[in-house]
Each structure stands twice: as structure tokens, then as C-alpha cells.
Amino acid sequence: MASVAEGDVGTVAELARVLRWGFEELSLNKLATSLGASEQALRLIISIFMGYPMAVFYRRYLYFKDSYLIHLFHAFTGLSIAYFNFGNQLYHSLLCVGLQFLILRLMGRTVTAVLTTFCFQMAYLLAGYYYTATGNYDIKWTMPHCVLTLKLIGLAVDYFDGGKDQNSLSSEQQKYAIRGVPSLLEVAGFSYFYGAFLVGPQFSMNHYMKLVQGQLTDIPGKIPNSTIPALKRLSLGLVYLVGYTLLSPHITEDYLLTEDYENHDFWFRCMYMLLWGKFVLYKYVTCWLVTEGVCILTGLGFNDFDEHRKAKWDACANMKVWLFETTPRFTGTIASFNINTNAWVARYVFKRLKFLGNKELSQGLSLLFLALWHGLHSGYLVCFQMEFLIVIVERKAARLIQESPTLSNLASITILQPFYYLVQQTIHWLFMGYSMTAFCLFTWDKWFKVYKSVYFLGHVFFLSLLFILPYVHKVMVPRKEKLKKAK
């Protein structure tokens, strides 16, 4: 009997060992390794795509149901996504959401509440960056927390505006001002909405409440007819995902740091930086297109109708793909990339600095805010400093061409347009790659090494133009043109 029992125990042990091995083989870690990705990256992708079945469930069972059920669903699913990706570290977001609700209730619609919110939420985010920072890009709880930080600051400002006289607000501020008093459940649903919790996009509390109230639909009283528009964005996102997956093993930022890269000819180093600078953005494009599809499917992407009474579904668009792929200008790329975050900064930072009386100073401070919001690494500051410099130079160059008869006539020669476009695109993506080098390599020892290998070309080129263009403008723009401009 003992031997039989021992045999049974041995069989069970062997079965347990086999099952454990099977689960290990099926684990996300193993799957991620086989795909050439990290486990955290795989969890992120799974979470983003899980938004679609959640949106289908919402459309099928919760649309036009009681508001509290919808808020509970959004809060529960968002928290589940947070736990799946970051485990117990979801307490960071819970703490900030809970304290934000208390700030709104205890401090009310006051400047003190806005300043407290800004200082606390940004300090918490920056402290998170400080304590979790490494020399590489890691997917940590701070990634969705930076999205949440903007949401909660915007919530406080909109709540403050809601207590002002309507006539004292701009039309944009009136659109976003919160007149009612949000409940804790409403703030939680808004904060954890599964379609935007991890990577955005940004949207206002008022827009979220319209979703909950069933107002964001192209067919009043019915579920929005948004399945096809959502699938189009999903399909486009999958195209970028496939492209990024196929190219990522061959075009990496790590190669920029190798001796092989440094030993190549200067033209090769520049061309590699150009190609990498274009390609590296595709991972962001993928995430934003997929999450935009989720938002469209729920109805959150509804943005009224165009002049032909056709529904627009771009309220949550973070990408203008055609503009992104075809624009030869830096300002065009900025206008096409991370749209809702840029709109948030314009609305809550840039325009609120109007009292400074200096547009470029307001723009510089807005970009400084963006750099700090991304993280504490020096690479972020260098990247946004380059953006500031490039935009100023590009505007000066455009003004020179427009006001100079000679350059204006030369630029209008039809047969030369393809050549101009090719030159512009080359300059555009070369220096986009130059700027993104600092953004993606983070630490000064890494980006400095790469910049040194290309002789700080971006800084030399644009700083030179910054000082040269005003003198060229004096020479090439006739006096009478300047007087006409002054009148």
C-alpha cells in the first residue's frame, strides 16, 4: 500500500512539474522574449487592445444605463488594467485621484486649489521619475501617471473656471468650464477610463460626462454608428505595428552608441539618424491610433458634424497620419503628432501665460513644462530646446521667403517643386532624428557622444541660421516691402 501511495504522489508531483513547465512556457515573459520584446511592453500592447472588447461590452450592455454604473465600469476596468501592468503600484494613481477629489471639495473654486493641484500633482510625478529612473526607457507606473497628471490639473483649472462669470471667459474656456460639482465616482471614472488611461489621449471632464450621458452619438437616442471609423483607425494602427515590429531589430538607438556607427562616414551617420528619427516615432503612432479606435468605438471620439452633416470622429485623435507622413515642415510634424497633449499644453499653460506679454517666452516656458513632464533626464530638455530653436528659425525662414520677391519667385517655379520638397524633407527628418536622439537616449553621456559624432550639426546649423537670417532679411527684402508690411 505504501508503495502504491508513493507512486501516486510521484505521479502527482510529475504532473505538477509538467504543468508548471507548461505555464512557464505560456507565460507572458516567454512570449515576450520570443517576440523580441519586454514583458512590460507586451502587457502594454495587450492592455491597449483589450479596450476593444471593453468598448463592445459598454456599447452592448451599458450605453444609456444609469451614470453610476458607467462610472463604476470605467473605474473598475481602468484599475484592472493598472493592476495587470503595475501590480500594487496602482496605489500611486489611487492616492492622487483621491487627494485631487479632496482638493476640489475642500478648497473649492479657488486659485489656491489650482496652485495646490499643480504643485502636488507635478511634484508627485517628478518624485516618481526621480525614484524609478534608469538609463533606459522602462514601462513603469509613471508612464500612465504622466497622462493622469495632466487630466487632474486640467480638471482643477476647469473647475476653477466654472465658478467665474461666463463673460469673463473665452469661448474655449466656456466650453471646458465645469459648472457642477464632480462626485468621487465621476472623478474616478474620468481618471481611469480604459480607452485612455495608459497612453492618452487627453480629454476634458465635460467631454467625458457627455459620453456618460449618451450625448456623444451621431444618431440621437441610439448607440453611435462608430464601428467602421473605429476599425479604420485600428487597421491603420496595425499597419504601423507590423512595420515597427519588422524594422525594430534593424534600426535601433543602441546602434547610435556603437563604434561601428562612429566609424562610418559622416554622410552614413546622418542618413542613419534620419531614418531612425522617422522610424522611432512609429511606436507612439501605433499606440495612439489603436487607443483612438477604442475611444471612437465608445463614442468618446465623436466631434459633431462637418458642413456636409457627416459625423466627425476625431475628438480623441492624437495623430494626423497623412500630415505626419507628408509634411516637409517641423511645425507640420508638431501639429500632427500627440495632438491632444499639445492642445492641453496650449490651453492650460501657453494661453494662461498671456499676462507675460511675450509669445516666445510663453512658448519657451510651455516647452520647459513639457520637458519636465516627460521626465528628469537631460535629454528631454535638449530635445525641447531644439524644438524651440527649430520652430523660431523655420518661421523666420518662411517669413523671409514670403517677403523677398526674389526668393518668392524662385520658390514658385513649378518644375523645381519636387526638388524643394525633397530637400525640405531631408532637412526636416535629419534634424527630427537629431532632436529625438537626445529624447530617446536620455542621459547626457549618451546623447553627447552621438551629437559629438555628427559634430553637433543640429545646433551649429540652426544657431547659425538664427543669427544669419535677420541680416539676409535686411538685404533681400526691399525697403518698400518693409514699409508696406508696417502699414
Residue by residue, DSSP assigns 393-431 as HHHHHHHHHHH-HHHHHHHT-GGGHHHHHHHHHHHHHHH
The active-site residue out of 318, 338, 340, 342 is 338
Q: Could you tell me if 394 and 330 are in contact, meaning their C-beta atoms sit under 8 angstroms apart? A: yes
The DSSP H or E segment spanning 116 is: helix 111-132
**Best CA proximity match to 85, nearest among 47, 49, 50:** 47
Map grid coordinates 532624428 to a residue: 433
CA distance 234 to 319: 13
Phi, psi (rounded to 5 degrees) for 306: -85, -175
Q: Under 8 Å CB-to-CB from 394, ≥6 apart: which residues?
A: 329, 330, 331
DSSP 134-161: -SS----THHHHHHHHHHHHHHHHHHHH
Residue 300, classed as helix, strand or coil, is coil
Phi-psi region at 224: left, alpha or beta (left = phi > 0; alpha = psi -120 to 50): beta
Integer distance in angstroms from the first to the last C-alpha of the chain?
Answer: 109
Torsion from C-alpha of 189, 48, 81, 159, nearest 10 degrees? -20
Q: What is the DSSP string of 157-213?
A: HHHHHTTS-GGGS-HHHHHH---S---HHHHHHHHH-TTTTTT-----HHHHHHHHT
Please indicate whether residue 374 is annotated as part of the active site: yes
Residue (of 332, 338, 320) closest to 421 by Cα position = 332
The question of whether 338 is a catalytic residue gets the answer: yes
Q: What is the dihedral of CA 367, 368, 371, 376, to 10 degrees?
A: 180
Place of cell 465635460: 206
Radius of gyration for the alpha carbons in the chain, expressed in angstroms and rounded: 26
Task: Choose, from 264, 303, 374, 459, the residue flagged as catalytic.
Answer: 374
Dist CA 228 CA 56 (whole Å): 13
Active site residues per annotation: 338, 374
